[in-house]
Amino acid sequence: MRHPVELELFRHFLGTIADEMGIVLRKTAYSANIKERRDFSCAVYDAAAEAVAMGDHMPVHLGAMPLSVRHAIAAFALRPGDVAILNDPFQGGTHLPDITAVAGVFVRGRARPAFYVAARAHHADVGGMSPGSMPLAREIFQEGLRIPPVLLVERGKVNAPLMDLILANVRTPEERRGDLLAQCMAIRRGETALLDLVRRYGLPRVRRNMAALRAYSERMMRAALARIPDSVYRFEDFLDNDGVSGRPVRIAVAVTIRGDTAEVDFTGSDPQAAGPVNANYAVALSATTYVFRCLLTEEVPFTSGLLAPLRLVIPEGTVVNARPPAAMAAGNVETSQRITDVLLGALAQAVPDLVPAASSGTMNNLTFGGWDPVRKRAFAYYETIAGGMGGGPRHEGQSGVHTHMTNSWNTPVEALEHQYPIRLRAYRIRAGSGGAGRRRGGDGIVRAFEFLAPADVTLLADRRERGPYGLRGGAPGKPGRTTVRVRGRIRTLAAKDRTSVRPGDVLTIETPGGGGWGAPDR
């Protein structure tokens, strides 16, 4: 083992590089989704494309991104100055709006990359049948531009024909150009910082500490698993529907603990769906990594070593590992949350004093777009809306917070109204929506949008039929609800719905509260 003080220093060195990449991306991006909501993630990888550091960003991105990195370096022998991009869910991506940029970091005198850096960002529109590229699709071809690994930058020069091709297929081309170039700037920052680290400490020392961090993460995960009683723990939960039929979508898991290892088996989950709730292997892997990392009570570096003690069984053709041409838009955002709920429900049987009740269980994805007659331009907007956190063994659930697979911020009222033909009519805590319990679930929120221009609106949400579950006698959280007021008449929308609005119409989203933990005291 490396000296513990040195290892801790390198943990912070590498984590800071990933965080600095995120700062550059946020400050140079064009879209509110990246600048305000911070819907992006950055990470550092060693020469074998093994994760050694990740920023404090989006869990659903971070656990899945290594597969994109591997597909990119399998497609190209990356050279100095090259940046590959991809978003294909069947080649390591998650859903089409998430575009990942990957580059090698070259040390002088060496022909192969010494490290890799990657930046993933959710683009507010990548084409497709609905503004915002989160449609009620039945196949991936309806969801937007699908990008296999391609070189956006070659030897430091932007591939202009490729950029033109991308921009010709999106509704907001200047915004997309700015966000893609911001990702390239984040990549450049990561390269520079890693080379500075090598100049200061030497390549062998940096590599030894990267390997030691991966080994340390593995040891800590094995120690946490060894404290769990050997057994098989099962749980199942449901998405309300797939957006096409009204039938609930089952997700099931069996977690088998043997000593310091765990097998996570999703056999029994429903076949892939007709609608856009399908997840892929990368998303299921990401959710599993997140949940097991939550079992660690110590601050442990987020490296590939965490996965070494885990074996995943994710049957192909199911809603958690769909095959082409399945629609995927909601798999990354909604199905990932339900996979998390299912895994936590299973582990609550194993470590009941560690696992909280279910949180809101949905990202409440809202997209809308159209033509802004005042600003004389097209607009496309995307946001996720927070809900209630589940109560836990030692804490009340927080209210109005993003949980589990999302770690994004809100778009401030001032930024929203400044950039889009929107007036926010309400933004408040949804009092009483959290489940009762010894530790009460947090409340959701109410967010109401008045449209000042015609728009096409799509909602991909869940937990509208069944509220998030409570644990140990706690009550479930209150389900969410979405309504639209048109000329004084209120209509309730489905969890996954699409509608057209006119100036003066008001869309109100009430998000679920978290489940309660423990039987309520009298």
SS3 at position 140: helix
In a domain, 441, yes or no: yes
What does the pLDDT look like over 126-171, one tens digit per residue?
999 999 999 999 999 999 999 999 999 999 999 999 999 999 999 9
Is pLDDT of 378 > 70? yes
Residues sharing a CB contact under 8 Å with residue 218, sequence separation 6 or more, in sequence order = 305, 306, 308, 309
Nearest CA-CA partner of 193 in 24, 403, 386: 24
Q: Are 428 and 373 in contact (CB under 8 A)?
A: no
Q: Are 149 and 84 in contact (CB under 8 A)?
A: yes
In a domain, 460, yes or no: yes
C-alpha to C-alpha distances, 305 to 46, 214, 293, 308, 413, nearest whole angstrom: 12, 5, 11, 5, 41
What does the pLDDT look like over 382-394, one tens digit per residue?
999 999 999 999 9
Is pLDDT of 1 > 70? no
Separation CA 480–CA 162 (nearest Å): 42
Q: Of 216, 247, 267, which residue constitutes the final position of a domain?
A: 216
What is the mean predicted confidence (pLDDT) over 455-463? 98
What does the pLDDT look like over 465-521, one tens digit per residue?
999 999 999 999 999 999 999 988 999 999 999 999 999 999 999 999 999 999 987
C-alpha to C-alpha distances, 299 to 216, 221, 469, 507, nearest whole angstrom: 11, 11, 28, 41
In a domain, 280, yes or no: no
Question: What is the predicted pLDDT for the residue at 298?
Answer: 87
In a domain, 251, yes or no: no
In a domain, 255, yes or no: no
Residues sharing a CB contact under 8 Å with residue 362, sequence separation 6 or more, in sequence order = 334, 337, 387, 461, 462, 463, 480, 511, 512
More confident residue, 488 or 17: 17
What does the pLDDT look like over 208-251, one tens digit per residue?
999 999 999 999 999 999 999 999 999 999 999 999 999 999 99
What does the pLDDT look like over 410-421, one tens digit per residue?
999 999 999 999
pLDDT band for position 522 (cuts 50, 70, 90): low
Residues sharing a CB contact under 8 Å with residue 244, sequence separation 6 or more, in sequence order = 136, 138, 273, 274, 275
Question: What is the predicted pLDDT for the residue at 86?
Answer: 98
Q: Of 173, 188, 216, which residue constitutes the final position of a domain?
A: 216
Question: What is the predicted pLDDT for the residue at 177?
Answer: 98
Task: Provide the number of structural domains found in the chain.
Answer: 2
SS3 at position 65: helix
In a domain, 323, yes or no: no
DSSP state, residue 332? I
- Please give the angle made by the CA atoms of 122, 151 and 25, to the nearest 5 degrees: 35
Provide the residue type at 6 as one letter: E
pLDDT band for position 2 (cuts 50, 70, 90): low
pLDDT band for position 40 (cuts 50, 70, 90): very high
Count of C-beta atoms within a 10 Å radius of residue 215: 16
Q: Are 133 and 367 in contact (CB under 8 A)?
A: yes
Provide the domain limits for residue 198. Answer: 4-216
Q: Of 156, 181, 216, which residue constitutes the final position of a domain?
A: 216
In a domain, 346, yes or no: no
Question: What is the predicted pLDDT for the residue at 61?
Answer: 86
What does the pLDDT look like over 424-450, one tens digit per residue?
999 999 999 999 999 999 999 999 999
In a domain, 481, yes or no: yes
Cis peptide before 173 (omega within 30 of 0): no
Backbone angles phi, psi at 261, to 5 degrees: -130, 165
> 392 pairs with which residues across the strands?
395
Q: Are 301 and 15 in contact (CB under 8 A)?
A: yes
